[in-house]
Structures are given as structure tokens and as C-alpha cells.
């Protein structure tokens, strides 16, 4: 029998009203939202359920909001006795995965990701950097385009999402030039992403430094569930290396496709995406269509995942 992996949503999938059905139907989920509000002294739940999209989309609000909803989804599926053999998250989602694994407590992680969001937002003044998805071009050709565009400024590979989808990020002119070159080299399409900064590039170094200072004060516990790191696409070995990996994660490429391939090699046959949206489910299907892929963000998706996985308990 194959293993089950839980995948935790990253930033970008948020929407007003996410998680409300879980809040209404499960006491354990309601507790997550209440504790999240208490931990930052701010009505985060109100913003998530009935706030303005514009306010929810501010990185320092998005990050704690997505983590709260993802952990509520985790609690909801746990109520049915479905537990993961291993876990991972996309960028921000790694914090949800680590909390599910017992490394962070909720009251620690919500304020931490709120600060992380603020640091990331402040690292690059708006209008100086951008991110762009390159579709249908090999990694080699994309790296080639980035190297050639480096004369215009910083441009780097930021996210390896799935076959045929790599995100580049950096300074405006350099990213635009790399995107133009990528098309010349045969890319099917390039899409500018609606984000406020070039996340997961060296331009986020100042955010990484501030995060390091915050993490120094946080006490971590041991991992109860194995978690794959975005930075290495390998298992996080111990608490001692964890803080350094989280600092590096802000300014390093997210190796999501490589992480999923590692899990498949280790016997994972079913993936459950927890939190808003189905972005990660889409990536996993692009990597291997034969896998079982489910998500949990509301009652309908929860019931479907539980029904499909019930024989696996």
C-alpha cells in the first residue's frame, strides 16, 4: 500500500470566505481561527471571512490567513483518522507543514509568518521587481535566457513548479528581457505574476536576514512527521538545520517538482492538498497523472477526500 503525503498551500490561492465552512462545521477548526486571532491581537478571521480582497492580498495578511486556513483543513481531515506519512508545502506552506509536524505551535507560527510577510513586502520597493512564469521551455533554456538577460540586472529561477512551468524573478528590465529571450528559445508562453516582490530570489536577502533574527528567538520542537524542504527537495534532518533552511528558503529557488518526485520515489501514491485553491494539485497531476490527488478547503472537497481515502486508514 502506498503512502499518503499532505501538501500545504502557498501564497496566491487566497480568497475572501476561504475556510468558513470548516469553521462552521468543526469545533477543532473554529479553535484554530480563534487562536490565530489571539496570537496576533487582530481579527484575522473577520478579514478572511468577510474582509476586502485588497486587504487580504497584502502579503503580511495573506501569509497568516493562508496558514490558518491550511491548518484548519489539516484538523478537519485528521478528525476522520487520515494522517500523512510525510508532508511538504509550497513556500509559505512549508510553515503549515512544519506546524502540522509539531515543530511550531500555532501561537508561534501565525505571528512569525505575519512578520515574514512584512519582511518580504519591504525587501524590494514596489515597482522594482517582478515574477514571471515561463511555460513550455526546458530548465536549461530558461537558465540560458536568465544568464543572457543578466546584463539588464538580477534575474533568477524562483520556482520549479512542474514540468513545463518555471517561474523567474528579479529586477523589472532583466525579467522582461529573460521572458523575451525565453519566447525566442521556444517558450509556449510567459505570464507576469500578480505579486508585490520577486520572492525566492537573491533580492530578498534583507528579508532573510530579518527572518533569521526572528527565528533565533523561536523555540522549535522535533518533527513528528517527515517534512521535505523547498530548498533541498530532501528531508529536513533535524531541528538544528531547520532555522537555516527557513532563512535560505526566502531567497532560494522553491524545488517543488523535485520535492514531489522525491516523495513519489519514496512510495507516495496519494497527495492531499490542504488550504485554499487547487494549485498544488494541478502541479502534481502534471508531474504524474497516475497519482491519487485530492484537496481539502471546504465541506465538499473534504467529504470527497475522506471518501476516496477511507480504505487507506
Does residue 20 carry a pLDDT above 80? yes
Cα–Cα dist 291/218, whole Å: 37
**pLDDT tens-place string over residues 229-287:** 999 999 998 888 999 999 999 999 999 999 999 999 999 999 999 999 999 999 999 99
Question: Could you say which of 200, 229, 259, 301 is catalytic?
Answer: 200
Does residue 19 carry a pLDDT above 90? yes
**pLDDT tens-place string over residues 139-191:** 999 999 999 999 999 999 999 999 999 999 999 999 999 999 999 999 999 99
pTM for the full model? Answer: 0.96
pLDDT at position 239? 84
**pLDDT tens-place string over residues 79-131:** 999 999 999 999 999 999 999 999 999 999 999 999 999 999 999 998 899 99
Across all residues in the chain, what is the average pLDDT? 96
Cα–Cα dist 247/207, whole Å: 9
**Catalytic status, residue 200:** yes
Sheet with strand 155-162: strands edge to edge = 155-162, 165-171, 129-135, 189-192
Question: Could you say which of 39, 70, 91, 281 is catalytic?
Answer: 91
Could you give the dihedral angle defined by the CA atoms of residues 262, 248, 274 and 255, in that order, rounded to the nearest 10 degrees?
A: -30
Cβ atoms of 251 and 207 closer than 8 Å: yes
pLDDT at position 1? 78
Residue of 136, 90, 110, 99 lying closest to 43 (CA atoms): 110
- Cell 497531476 sits on residue: 285
Cα–Cα dist 61/166, whole Å: 26
pLDDT band at 312 (very low <50, low <70, confident <90, very high): low
- Domains present along the chain, CATH in parentheses: 3-123+203-312 (3.40.366.10), 132-195 (3.30.70.250)
- Cell 538544528 sits on residue: 240
**Catalytic status, residue 301:** no
Amino acid at each position: 500500500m502506498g503512502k499518503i503525503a499532505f501538501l500545504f498551500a502557498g501564497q496566491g490561492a487566497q480568497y475572501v470566505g476561504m475556510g468558513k465552512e470548516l469553521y462552521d462545521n468543526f469545533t477543532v477548526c473554529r479553535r484554530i481561527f480563534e487562536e490565530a486571532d489571539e496570537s496576533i491581537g487582530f481579527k484575522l478571521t473577520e478579514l478572511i471571512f468577510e474582509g476586502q480582497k485588497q486587504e487580504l492580498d497584502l502579503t503580511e495578511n495573506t501569509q497568516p490567513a493562508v496558514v490558518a486556513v491550511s491548518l484548519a483543513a489539516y484538523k478537519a481531515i485528521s478528525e476522520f483518522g487520515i494522517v500523512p506519512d510525510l508532508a511538504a508545502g509550497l513556500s509559505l506552506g512549508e510553515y503549515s507543514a512544519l506546524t502540522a509536524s509539531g515543530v511550531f505551535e500555532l501561537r508561534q507560527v501565525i505571528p512569525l509568518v505575519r512578520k515574514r510577510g512584512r519582511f518580504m513586502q519591504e525587501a524590494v520597493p514596489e515597482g522594482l521587481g517582478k515574477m514571471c512564469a515561463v511555460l513550455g521551455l526546458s530548465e536549461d533554456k530558461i537558465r540560458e535566457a536568465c544568464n543572457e538577460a543578466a546584463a539588464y540586472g538580477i534575474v533568477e529561477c524562483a520556482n520549479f513548479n512542474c514540468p513545463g512551468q518555471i517561474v523567474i524573478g528579479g529586477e523589472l528590465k532583466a525579467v522582461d528581457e529573460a521572458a523575451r529571450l525565453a519566447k525566442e528559445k521556444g517558450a509556449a508562453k510567459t505570464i507576469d505574476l500578480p505579486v508585490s516582490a520577486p520572492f525566492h530570489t537573491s533580492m530578498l536577502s534583507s528579508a532573510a536576514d530579518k527572518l533569521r533574527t526572528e527565528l533565533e528567538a523561536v523555540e522549535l520542537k522535533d518533527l513528528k512527521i517527515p517534512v521535505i524542504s523547498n530548498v533541498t527537495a530532501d528531508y529536513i534532518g533535524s531541528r538544528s538545520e531547520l532555522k537555516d533552511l527557513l532563512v535560505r528558503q526566502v531567497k532560494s529557488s522553491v524545488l517543488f517538482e523535485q520535492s514531489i518526485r522525491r516523495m513519489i520515489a519514496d512510495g507516495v501514491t496519494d497527495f492531499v492538498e490542504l488550504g485554499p485553491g487547487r494549485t498544488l494539485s494541478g502541479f502534481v497531476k502534471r508531474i504524474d497523472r497516475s497519482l491519487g490527488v485530492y484537496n481539502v478547503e471546504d465541506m465538499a472537497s473534504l467529504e470527497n477526500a475522506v471518501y476516496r481515502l477511507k480504505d487507506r486508514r
